[in-house]
Amino acid sequence: MSKETRKILVTSALPYANGPIHIGHMVEYIQTDIWVRFQKQRGHTCHYVCADDAHGTPIMLRAQQEGITPEQLIADTWTQHNADFSDFNVGFDNFYSTHTDETRSYA
C-alpha cells in the first residue's frame, strides 16, 4: 500500500498591523503550527504562510497618534510580531506583510 504525498498550503487569520499579538491570536498560530508540523512528519509537503494585514484606517490613526508614518508603524509592528512568533516557536515558512510591491502588483 503506497502512501499518497499531499501538497498543502496553510495560512491563519492575518494579524492586523496596528498592535501587538495577544494570547487569542497566538493560540490560533500555535494550533496551526502543530497541525503543519504533523503533516510534514507524515511526509507531506506543507507550507505555512502568513502576513501582517497592513492596510486600513486603524493603522493610519495609530501612526498619527505615535507621530510616525504608517510605513514605519507597519515595519515596527512586523518586527514585533515576528519576534513574538519566534518566542513561541511558531514556524512559518514565510511571514510577510500585505504592504509590499508584490502585493500591489497582484492587487
Contact present, 92 and 49 (Cβ < 8 Å): yes
Exposure string over 66-91, b if 16+ CB within 10 A, otherwise e: eeeebeebbbebbeebbebbeeeebe
Residue 2 pLDDT greater than 70, yes or no: no
Residue range 8-106 in CATH 3.40.50.300: no
Given a cut of 90, whether residue 92 has pLDDT beyond it is yes
pTM over 0.85: yes
* Closest listed residue to residue 29, CA positions, set 71, 89, 90, 106: 90
Separation CA 7–CA 36 (nearest Å): 11
Q: Could you give the C-alpha distances from 74 to 14, 19, 35, 55, 80, in angstroms and in order?
A: 13, 10, 29, 9, 10
Residue 104 has a pLDDT of 85
Q: What is the pLDDT of residue 38?
A: 98
Q: Is the pLDDT of residue 1 over 60?
A: no
pLDDT tens digits, one per residue of 12-65:
999 999 999 999 999 999 999 999 999 999 999 999 999 999 999 999 999 999
**Residue 107 reports pLDDT greater than 90:** no
Write out the H or E segment, with its range, that includes residue 46: strand 45-52
